[in-house]
Amino acid sequence: MKWNLWKRTEYMVGVEVKDSVIKFVEMAKSAKEITLSSYCMENIPEGLISVGKIQRQQDFSDFLFEIKNKAGIQGKNIQLSISSHHILLRPIRIPNLPNKELAKAVSLEIENSIQLPFEEYVFDFGVITEQDKRSEAKELDLMLVIAPKSYIYPYADAFKKAGFYPESVDLASFAVHRVIQREESLGDTYMLVNIGEKSTEVSIFHQKVPRLVRTFNLDLGSYINNLPVFSDNHSAVHSFARDMGNELERVMNFYLYTLNNREQILAELVLVGDTKDLGEISEYLSSRLGVRSWVAGIGRIPFAQELNEKSLREIEASLVVPLGMALKEEMA
């Protein structure tokens, strides 16, 4: 007889917080596989978060506690994605050093060479220099991600008070990249677009590293609400997609020409987000920008039998970011 006393399921939880919605994805990790075991999306009460910043700390923590109990989230350790509004992305170049010495060298570079609009900060970085060229390179190119502590710490405190333990805070673009690279073979340069209810975040990746992140305000709901009575929803989506195309063209031109990346070919556009009209928007943008455009989802990741597949597939594009955050622990 086998009692299986020592077998247990580990839970990996990814969270995405926007101004108007919070999403949880919980993955169950057993000896055999990783399964999407549960998910939850809740509208955030008006005024709790504005332009990415928590406005009422205790109310937000109470809100998180209610969600935890309501959704039955079993994992406590979370990987968190928040808005990039207040996060800086900077390329830097430092001497080629062993990995264990890089963090100290980057810290010195920030102190001596970078003027920041805040005094206290946290940072992370990725090596841009290609691995096969690193052994001979005298210097390393890095992409630096910096955020003020006053932006990051309130989130960490609020989740801790609600009974969670935030292990990391990351950009949504990293999470999307983490999911789609499991399913698709992407080119050298591509754009990720995360469409929210009130704002859209755009990232351009080159050789698997984000080189540019921009956020702009486009509210699809306002397009629908402001339609003339004789118009239909299709007209609103088309107007939104047209304005979205204008913004994406500006971002593409800035990256390719102002930042002097003319030799790169940006030929792919990946969409995720919180509107059911992503397919129509993707089709328009593909024609408008002359690139392959497609909507990302959860792909072939297995999910628990008790989850309704039809319901899950209808909203899978909105779960890509929290899913990618949950997978961070597995791919670390």
Residue 132 domain-assigned (yes or no): yes
Residue 166 domain-assigned (yes or no): no
Residue 182 domain-assigned (yes or no): no
CB distance 139 to 94 below 8 Å: yes
**Domain region containing 103:** 88-150
The closest of 244, 155, 261 to 202, measured between CA atoms, is 244
Residue 172 domain-assigned (yes or no): no
CB distance 39 to 319 below 8 Å: yes
Give percent above pLDDT 90 in the chain. 62
Cβ contacts of residue 13 below 8 Å, gap of 6+?
24, 25, 26, 27, 73, 75, 76, 77, 78, 79, 164, 326
Q: Tokens 């006393």 — which residue?
A: 5
The SS3 assignment for 4 reads coil
Say whether pLDDT at 2 is over 60: no
Same domain, 222 and 127: no
Same domain, 215 and 145: no
Residue 93 domain-assigned (yes or no): yes
CB distance 203 to 171 below 8 Å: yes
Residue 202 per-residue DSSP state: E
Distance of alpha carbon 58 from alpha carbon 48, whole angstroms: 10
Same domain, 275 and 222: yes
* 293-to-70, 80, 256 alpha-carbon distances in Å: 37, 27, 19
Same domain, 141 and 229: no
Of 128, 150, 172, which marks where a domain is finished? 150
Distance of alpha carbon 75 from alpha carbon 301, whole angstroms: 19
CB atoms near residue 255 (< 10 Å): 21
Say whether pLDDT at 299 is over 90: no
Q: Domain total for the chain? A: 2
Mean pLDDT, the chain, as a whole number? 89
Query: In three state form, how does the secondary structure of 108-153 look?
Result: HHHHHHCCCCCCCEEEEEEECCCHHHHCCCCEEEEEEEEEEHHHHH
- Which residues on neighbouring strands pair with residue 200, listed in sequence order? 195, 216
Q: What phi, psi does 104 have (nearest 5°)?
A: -65, -40
Same domain, 286 and 223: yes
Tell me the mean pLDDT in the region 43-71. 93
Give percent above pLDDT 70 in the chain. 94
Say whether pLDDT at 173 is over 70: yes
Residue 133 domain-assigned (yes or no): yes
Tell me the mean pLDDT in the region 285-313. 91
Let me know how long the chain is: 332
CATH number for the domain spanning 272: value is 3.30.420.40
Distance of alpha carbon 190 from alpha carbon 313, whole angstroms: 24
Same domain, 195 and 285: yes
Same domain, 200 and 290: yes
CATH number for the domain spanning 143: value is 3.30.1490.300
Output the six-digit token pair for 244. 């979205």
Amino acid letter, residue 20:
S
Of 123, 150, 177, which marks where a domain is finished? 150
CB distance 126 to 207 below 8 Å: no
Least confident of 7-11, 150-154, 199-203, 287-291: 7-11
Residue 304 domain-assigned (yes or no): no
**Each residue of 194-241: pLDDT tens digit?**
998 888 999 999 988 889 999 988 877 677 666 564 456 678 888 899
Cα dihedral across residues 139, 203, 121, 258: positive or negative: positive
**Each residue of 132-162: pLDDT tens digit?**
888 888 999 998 999 999 999 999 999 999 9
The closest of 148, 156, 169 to 60, measured between CA atoms, is 156
CB atoms near residue 116 (< 10 Å): 14
Distance of alpha carbon 71 from alpha carbon 82, whole angstroms: 20
The SS3 assignment for 308 reads coil
Residue 30 domain-assigned (yes or no): no
Same domain, 240 and 290: yes
Q: Tokens 């979205």 — which residue?
A: 244
